[in-house]
Structure 1
């Protein structure tokens, strides 16, 4: 039996509780403390020792799980890596390329693992589509439409002063709610060679966008659209439509719902989506299956000193695409 990896969870919001549940189903992993600046302890975490900062932790630990707001990820990652601790970071890895590169370089310098929780790469039918694309089974892909039309009410944005800000959130739905799917888009198709976007704030009193769209052009000739929103009531399943020389397919919440590809049977094995987390109207995650994949892989990476499934360098690409969307408005 391998040595259990002792984790400190940095942050005490909803996603921290998700990781706590996931670790219960992860081999060789244990939570030994929480780092949080909050004075009120969430009920799910109350039985663990609490510390104000990573440097104040007085129990043995091997790694941290960073669950702080987006723009603060690099702070905890750099501090933990400097102490020789491995780093698993919530998405997005951070909100600026400068901060991301500092995270990556500090982890390398201190010879610790850096992984990022873009777990939707391994959700439901997504890995099947990735293999079909890589094996060129779908034909020439010429059009992709990605739609992440969520809804968040005013209570969501009022729940913390950092929400809906550029400095800490990094932006609106593109970097927050759509980040998982923009990572998936990169994983499938790579980065666009050119894009143009239009963003707006329509139903919330926030400084960032709550709705927008981008047109992406690729060197292959593929033309794609990405729409992201927290203004579209009541919130809709994330959808990716892929059109090719052999037909088309549609993914909704990571499951193939429409399939007509010449010469290929629908490869889905998913019979029901009733327990699938959509994120359409709430950020709360109850199904931890995909987080468990990330955690088990991260523990294995620590034990074997091999790269985790999703490295800092790989996760950086999603933020780069999002930042390009923000700066390419017309």
Structure 2
């Protein structure tokens, strides 16, 4: 397979970011833009030479000239649509989260693991140069015994943002508020670094918006390795702060802010305590504006998916692994609902 022919399903919101990423990947073309709102499909298709607008998912999947489908629709539709893609014999990328319940994720996992097609879920922040360096440091044991791991996502969204789509801030299609939509990226990063979460205790509330889901949340996590940590997320911290992850061990500590390494310190005097730098890293990361994200990490993850399709290799993030962040966030919601410590199943 020389050229990967892509299709984007869901041409508003994050869909155009996928289009930008695809344009940067050699031997990849955006062949179809699909949306049930014809104007959105038409608008995206008009920007890409040779791209055709389609208004129905079944019509798209009936075509034999599509290799990789990007599911960029509201979160609560991801699993059902991804399953349809796989059952049509094609490969699929879902945007984060993979879906809004673990039950929906499990259905997709079962189909994906029995399918000849490949499936992955976007968690693009894993593929920033410096977040990968941090993962290497953790896996090499440079931090020693992990003791604490924290994620802080103190962003801001206006009421107009929530009012811009009838699916936003609904349990059915958004799956929650500041954690399931925005914070899930960093919940994923945190568990990627620290390992599986054993239990959570959380408080969530809605303090600054007229919405049905949370706009503030705080959770205490116990990891299976014994470490503890916190997740703090909000879309009510004006004007919107940088996201941050802190990792601590008995031999060193690392802090990441918006994809840059801010703190990099180890007790071992033979290790370089100067933080690695990446001139391509960008400081802005959607804290105040949901469109203010770089496309480079999407490009990297989609490139790896294309390579997996061409070479019949491993996908960048298996869907079974992508389930973890959904399980953690839904456990946080359950703890808030019950007022009890919640132990995770997996």
Per-residue CA deviations over 1:122-143 (Å, capped at 9, x if unaligned) read 2132111111111111122212
Residue in structure 1 matched with residue 101 of structure 2 by the alignment:
96
- Asked if 1:46 corresponds to 2:62, the answer is no
Comparing 43-52 and 132-141, the one that deviates more: 43-52
Instruction: Please state how far the C-alpha of 1:24 moved relative to its aligned partner.
Output: 1.1
Aligned counterpart, 1:317: 324
List per-residue Cα deviations over 1:285-308 (Å, max 9, x = no partner). Answer: 552111111111111111111221
Tell me how far 1:102 sits from its aligned partner.
Answer: 1.5
Structure 2: runs of 5 or more not aligned: 340-346
Contact 1:214 1:225 in 2 (8 A): yes
Counterparts of 1:1-330 in structure 2 under 5 Å?
2-41=1-40, 43-47=43-47, 48-57=51-60, 58=63, 60-263=65-268, 264-266=271-273, 268-270=275-277, 275-285=282-292, 287-329=294-336, 330=339
**Is the 2:142–2:252 Cα contact (8 Å) retained in structure 1?**
no
CA distance in 1, matches of 2:164, 2:235: 15
TM-score, L = length of structure 1: 0.94
Aligned 8 A contact 1:128 1:267 in 2 = no
- Whole-Å Cα distance in 2 between the matches of residues 285 and 233 of structure 1? 16
CA shift, 1:228, in A, is 0.7
SS at 1:316's partner residue?
helix
Q: Deviations over 1:252-311 (max 9, x none)?
A: 112111232212323643255773441201111552111111111111111111221101
Counterpart CA distance in 2 for 1:267 and 1:295 is: 31
Question: Structure 1 pair 129/35, CA: closer, same or farther in 2 (3 Å)?
Answer: same
Question: Are 2:143 and 2:266, in contact at CA under 8 Å, matched by a contact in 1?
Answer: yes
Compared CA separation, residues 211 and 91, structure 1 to 2 (3 A) = same
Which portions of structure 1, spanning 4 or more consecutive aligned residues, are displaced by more than 4 angstroms?
271-274
Q: Deviations over 1:154-209 (max 9, x none)?
A: 11100001101100000011111011111111111122211100000000000000
| 1:15/1:285 contact within 8 Å kept | no
- The 1:275/1:126 distance shift into structure 2, 3 A limit, reads closer
Mapped contact 1:91–1:116 kept (Cα < 8 A): yes
What stretches of structure 1 of length at least 5 have no aligned partner?
A: none
Partners of 2:129 and 2:240 lie apart in 1 by 21
Query: Secondary structure at 1:61's aligned position in 2?
Result: coil
Q: What SS does the corresponding residue of 1:196 show, helix, strand or coil? A: strand
Q: Secondary structure at the match of 1:7?
A: strand
- Relative to structure 1, the CA distance from residue 43 to residue 267 in structure 2 (aligned partners, 3 Å threshold; closer, same or farther) is farther
Alignment check: 8 A CA contact 2:153 2:234 kept: yes
Cα drift, residue 313 of structure 1: 0.7
C-alpha contact 1:70 1:170 (8 A) present in aligned 2 = yes
TM-score by length of 2: 0.90
* Superposition RMSD in Å: 1.8
Assess, with a 3 A threshold, how the Cα gap between structure 1 residues 101 and 219 changes in structure 2: closer, same or farther: closer
